[in-house]
Structure 1
Amino acid sequence: MTNPMPPRRLSFAAEGQQLLPWARQGGPPPEAARWSAAEDRLYPWIMVDPDLYEAAVTLVGEVLGVLRSQCDSFAELCSIDPADVLPHCPAAAAPTPGLDIGVVLDAARAHRWRDLVADQIVAEPDDRPTKA
Protein backbone atom coordinates (compact mmCIF):
# COMPACT_ATOMS: atom_id res chain seq x y z
CA MET A 1 0.00 0.00 0.00
CA THR A 2 1.33 3.42 -0.84
CA ASN A 3 1.39 6.37 1.48
CA PRO A 4 -1.04 9.01 0.14
CA MET A 5 1.07 11.82 1.57
CA PRO A 6 4.81 11.73 0.96
CA PRO A 7 6.96 12.34 4.03
CA ARG A 8 7.87 15.94 4.54
CA ARG A 9 11.54 16.76 4.14
CA LEU A 10 12.62 19.57 6.40
CA SER A 11 15.51 21.87 5.77
CA PHE A 12 17.35 22.58 9.00
CA ALA A 13 18.75 25.79 7.53
CA ALA A 14 15.25 27.10 6.92
CA GLU A 15 14.12 25.96 10.34
CA GLY A 16 17.11 27.59 11.98
CA GLN A 17 16.28 30.88 10.37
CA GLN A 18 12.53 30.82 10.88
CA LEU A 19 11.89 28.76 13.98
CA LEU A 20 15.07 28.30 15.91
CA PRO A 21 16.86 31.63 15.99
CA TRP A 22 19.05 30.37 18.79
CA ALA A 23 20.60 27.85 16.38
CA ARG A 24 22.22 30.74 14.50
CA GLN A 25 23.49 32.18 17.78
CA GLY A 26 25.58 29.20 18.80
CA GLY A 27 23.12 26.97 20.59
CA PRO A 28 19.92 26.75 22.57
CA PRO A 29 19.00 29.24 25.27
CA PRO A 30 20.94 28.77 28.51
CA GLU A 31 17.82 27.45 30.23
CA ALA A 32 17.40 24.68 27.66
CA ALA A 33 21.07 23.76 27.96
CA ARG A 34 20.71 23.55 31.75
CA TRP A 35 17.63 21.36 31.38
CA SER A 36 19.47 19.02 29.04
CA ALA A 37 22.36 18.81 31.52
CA ALA A 38 19.85 17.75 34.18
CA GLU A 39 18.81 14.83 31.98
CA ASP A 40 22.45 13.83 31.67
CA ARG A 41 22.70 13.81 35.47
CA LEU A 42 19.88 11.25 35.72
CA TYR A 43 21.33 8.54 33.50
CA PRO A 44 24.24 7.46 35.75
CA TRP A 45 21.78 6.71 38.54
CA ILE A 46 20.76 3.52 36.74
CA MET A 47 24.22 2.07 37.41
CA VAL A 48 24.49 3.30 40.99
CA ASP A 49 20.92 3.01 42.25
CA PRO A 50 18.36 1.48 39.87
CA ASP A 51 15.50 2.13 42.32
CA LEU A 52 16.38 5.81 42.50
CA TYR A 53 16.62 5.94 38.72
CA GLU A 54 13.20 4.29 38.37
CA ALA A 55 11.69 6.77 40.84
CA ALA A 56 13.27 9.65 38.92
CA VAL A 57 12.02 8.42 35.55
CA THR A 58 8.52 7.93 36.93
CA LEU A 59 8.46 11.44 38.35
CA VAL A 60 9.94 12.94 35.16
CA GLY A 61 7.08 11.35 33.23
CA GLU A 62 4.47 12.74 35.60
CA VAL A 63 6.04 16.22 35.58
CA LEU A 64 6.19 16.10 31.79
CA GLY A 65 2.48 15.39 31.65
CA VAL A 66 1.80 18.47 33.76
CA LEU A 67 4.16 20.61 31.67
CA ARG A 68 2.43 19.46 28.49
CA SER A 69 -0.90 20.60 29.89
CA GLN A 70 0.33 23.91 31.29
CA CYS A 71 3.25 25.11 29.15
CA ASP A 72 2.72 25.94 25.50
CA SER A 73 5.70 28.27 25.14
CA PHE A 74 9.31 28.63 26.16
CA ALA A 75 8.39 31.56 28.44
CA GLU A 76 5.78 29.46 30.25
CA LEU A 77 8.25 26.62 30.61
CA CYS A 78 10.80 28.97 32.15
CA SER A 79 8.37 30.61 34.53
CA ILE A 80 6.31 27.69 35.80
CA ASP A 81 6.53 27.31 39.55
CA PRO A 82 7.38 23.83 40.84
CA ALA A 83 4.66 24.37 43.46
CA ASP A 84 2.17 24.40 40.58
CA VAL A 85 3.52 21.14 39.18
CA LEU A 86 4.36 18.74 41.99
CA PRO A 87 0.88 18.53 43.56
CA HIS A 88 -0.31 16.97 40.27
CA CYS A 89 2.33 14.22 40.43
CA PRO A 90 1.43 11.15 42.48
CA ALA A 91 5.07 10.05 42.69
CA ALA A 92 5.97 13.34 44.41
CA ALA A 93 3.66 12.54 47.34
CA ALA A 94 6.14 10.05 48.79
CA PRO A 95 9.60 11.64 48.62
CA THR A 96 12.39 9.31 47.55
CA PRO A 97 15.60 9.73 49.56
CA GLY A 98 18.39 11.00 47.34
CA LEU A 99 16.08 12.19 44.57
CA ASP A 100 16.85 15.76 43.54
CA ILE A 101 13.49 17.27 42.59
CA GLY A 102 15.22 20.18 40.82
CA VAL A 103 17.04 17.77 38.51
CA VAL A 104 13.81 15.90 37.83
CA LEU A 105 11.92 19.11 37.01
CA ASP A 106 14.68 20.32 34.71
CA ALA A 107 14.87 16.94 32.95
CA ALA A 108 11.13 17.11 32.28
CA ARG A 109 11.55 20.69 31.05
CA ALA A 110 14.21 19.49 28.61
CA HIS A 111 11.78 16.99 27.17
CA ARG A 112 8.97 19.56 26.95
CA TRP A 113 11.37 22.01 25.26
CA ARG A 114 12.08 19.42 22.57
CA ASP A 115 8.33 18.85 22.20
CA LEU A 116 7.75 22.57 21.66
CA VAL A 117 10.55 22.86 19.11
CA ALA A 118 9.29 19.79 17.23
CA ASP A 119 5.73 21.14 17.27
CA GLN A 120 6.94 24.40 15.73
CA ILE A 121 8.83 22.57 13.02
CA VAL A 122 5.85 20.41 12.11
CA ALA A 123 3.45 23.38 12.20
CA GLU A 124 5.46 25.45 9.73
CA PRO A 125 4.13 25.35 6.20
CA ASP A 126 6.34 23.63 3.71
CA ASP A 127 7.98 26.49 1.85
CA ARG A 128 10.13 24.43 -0.49
CA PRO A 129 9.82 25.43 -4.12
CA THR A 130 7.74 23.03 -6.12
CA LYS A 131 8.88 21.58 -9.42
CA ALA A 132 6.70 22.44 -12.39
Structure 2
Amino acid sequence: MSVKGREGSRGAVFVLALGTMVILFSICVTFLQNARRHVKIVDNEWRGAMALYCAEAGAEDAIRELIGNASWRTGFSGKSFATADGVTGTYTTSLADVSGNVEIASTGTWGNASRTVVVTVGVGGGVTRVSWR
Protein backbone atom coordinates (compact mmCIF):
# COMPACT_ATOMS: atom_id res chain seq x y z
CA MET A 1 0.00 0.00 0.00
CA SER A 2 1.38 3.38 -0.92
CA VAL A 3 0.37 6.90 -0.27
CA LYS A 4 -1.11 8.66 -3.29
CA GLY A 5 1.27 11.12 -4.97
CA ARG A 6 4.45 9.59 -3.47
CA GLU A 7 5.15 6.86 -6.01
CA GLY A 8 7.94 8.74 -7.88
CA SER A 9 9.50 10.58 -4.94
CA ARG A 10 12.07 7.91 -4.15
CA GLY A 11 13.62 8.27 -7.59
CA ALA A 12 13.60 12.05 -7.36
CA VAL A 13 15.44 12.01 -4.02
CA PHE A 14 18.06 9.68 -5.49
CA VAL A 15 18.59 11.96 -8.50
CA LEU A 16 18.82 15.00 -6.20
CA ALA A 17 21.35 13.25 -3.93
CA LEU A 18 23.39 12.11 -6.93
CA GLY A 19 23.40 15.64 -8.38
CA THR A 20 24.53 17.07 -5.04
CA MET A 21 27.36 14.54 -4.85
CA VAL A 22 28.52 15.41 -8.37
CA ILE A 23 28.55 19.13 -7.51
CA LEU A 24 30.49 18.53 -4.27
CA PHE A 25 32.95 16.27 -6.08
CA SER A 26 33.52 18.96 -8.73
CA ILE A 27 34.15 21.57 -6.03
CA CYS A 28 36.69 19.28 -4.32
CA VAL A 29 38.52 18.55 -7.58
CA THR A 30 38.70 22.27 -8.39
CA PHE A 31 39.99 23.05 -4.90
CA LEU A 32 42.71 20.38 -5.16
CA GLN A 33 43.79 21.59 -8.61
CA ASN A 34 44.08 25.16 -7.32
CA ALA A 35 46.01 24.02 -4.24
CA ARG A 36 48.43 22.07 -6.44
CA ARG A 37 48.91 25.08 -8.73
CA HIS A 38 49.62 27.37 -5.77
CA VAL A 39 52.17 24.94 -4.32
CA LYS A 40 53.98 24.95 -7.67
CA ILE A 41 53.92 28.76 -7.81
CA VAL A 42 55.34 29.02 -4.29
CA ASP A 43 58.05 26.47 -5.12
CA ASN A 44 59.05 28.41 -8.25
CA GLU A 45 59.17 31.68 -6.29
CA TRP A 46 61.32 30.03 -3.61
CA ARG A 47 63.75 28.62 -6.18
CA GLY A 48 63.96 32.04 -7.85
CA ALA A 49 64.74 33.73 -4.54
CA MET A 50 67.43 31.16 -3.74
CA ALA A 51 68.94 31.64 -7.22
CA LEU A 52 69.03 35.40 -6.57
CA TYR A 53 70.80 34.78 -3.24
CA CYS A 54 73.37 32.64 -5.07
CA ALA A 55 73.92 35.40 -7.65
CA GLU A 56 74.39 37.98 -4.88
CA ALA A 57 76.83 35.68 -3.09
CA GLY A 58 78.82 35.36 -6.32
CA ALA A 59 78.97 39.13 -6.71
CA GLU A 60 80.06 39.55 -3.08
CA ASP A 61 82.71 36.86 -3.55
CA ALA A 62 84.03 38.66 -6.64
CA ILE A 63 84.10 41.99 -4.76
CA ARG A 64 86.08 40.31 -1.97
CA GLU A 65 88.59 39.05 -4.55
CA LEU A 66 88.85 42.55 -6.06
CA ILE A 67 89.56 44.03 -2.64
CA GLY A 68 92.51 41.65 -2.33
CA ASN A 69 93.70 42.14 -5.92
CA ALA A 70 92.32 45.06 -7.96
CA SER A 71 93.62 43.55 -11.22
CA TRP A 72 91.79 40.21 -10.72
CA ARG A 73 89.44 39.43 -13.64
CA THR A 74 89.24 35.64 -13.61
CA GLY A 75 85.71 35.23 -12.24
CA PHE A 76 84.15 32.02 -10.98
CA SER A 77 82.53 29.19 -12.86
CA GLY A 78 80.00 26.88 -11.21
CA LYS A 79 81.13 27.66 -7.67
CA SER A 80 78.94 26.00 -5.03
CA PHE A 81 76.79 27.93 -2.60
CA ALA A 82 75.53 25.80 0.29
CA THR A 83 72.88 26.58 2.87
CA ALA A 84 73.04 25.52 6.52
CA ASP A 85 70.90 22.45 5.79
CA GLY A 86 73.29 21.27 3.06
CA VAL A 87 71.24 22.22 0.00
CA THR A 88 73.42 23.73 -2.70
CA GLY A 89 73.15 26.07 -5.62
CA THR A 90 75.88 27.47 -7.85
CA TYR A 91 77.04 30.81 -9.17
CA THR A 92 79.13 31.90 -12.11
CA THR A 93 80.68 35.36 -12.35
CA SER A 94 82.35 37.25 -15.14
CA LEU A 95 84.23 40.53 -14.88
CA ALA A 96 84.78 43.19 -17.52
CA ASP A 97 86.45 46.59 -17.53
CA VAL A 98 83.87 49.25 -18.41
CA SER A 99 84.71 52.97 -18.40
CA GLY A 100 87.36 52.71 -15.70
CA ASN A 101 85.17 50.50 -13.52
CA VAL A 102 84.81 46.75 -13.21
CA GLU A 103 81.41 45.30 -14.09
CA ILE A 104 80.60 42.02 -12.39
CA ALA A 105 77.84 39.87 -13.86
CA SER A 106 76.91 37.07 -11.48
CA THR A 107 74.39 34.36 -12.34
CA GLY A 108 73.05 32.16 -9.57
CA THR A 109 71.37 28.84 -10.21
CA TRP A 110 69.14 26.90 -7.83
CA GLY A 111 67.44 23.83 -9.25
CA ASN A 112 65.93 24.90 -12.57
CA ALA A 113 65.85 28.62 -11.68
CA SER A 114 68.53 31.17 -12.46
CA ARG A 115 68.88 34.87 -11.69
CA THR A 116 71.53 37.40 -12.67
CA VAL A 117 72.78 40.52 -10.89
CA VAL A 118 75.14 43.10 -12.33
CA VAL A 119 77.40 45.12 -10.06
CA THR A 120 79.62 48.04 -11.04
CA VAL A 121 82.70 48.45 -8.87
CA GLY A 122 85.02 51.45 -8.89
CA VAL A 123 88.62 50.29 -8.46
CA GLY A 124 90.81 53.35 -8.21
CA GLY A 125 93.60 52.24 -5.85
CA GLY A 126 91.36 49.56 -4.33
CA VAL A 127 87.62 49.13 -4.30
CA THR A 128 86.13 52.61 -3.83
CA ARG A 129 82.44 52.24 -4.64
CA VAL A 130 79.91 49.57 -5.46
CA SER A 131 76.68 50.04 -7.44
CA TRP A 132 74.12 47.20 -7.64
CA ARG A 133 71.65 46.88 -10.54
Pair in the same fold by TM > 0.5? no
TM-score of the pair, normalised by structure 2: 0.33
TM-score (norm 1): 0.33
Q: Which of 1 and 2 has higher RCO (CA within 8 Å, sep 6+)?
A: 1
Higher helix share: 1
Q: Identify the structure with the greater strand proportion.
A: 2
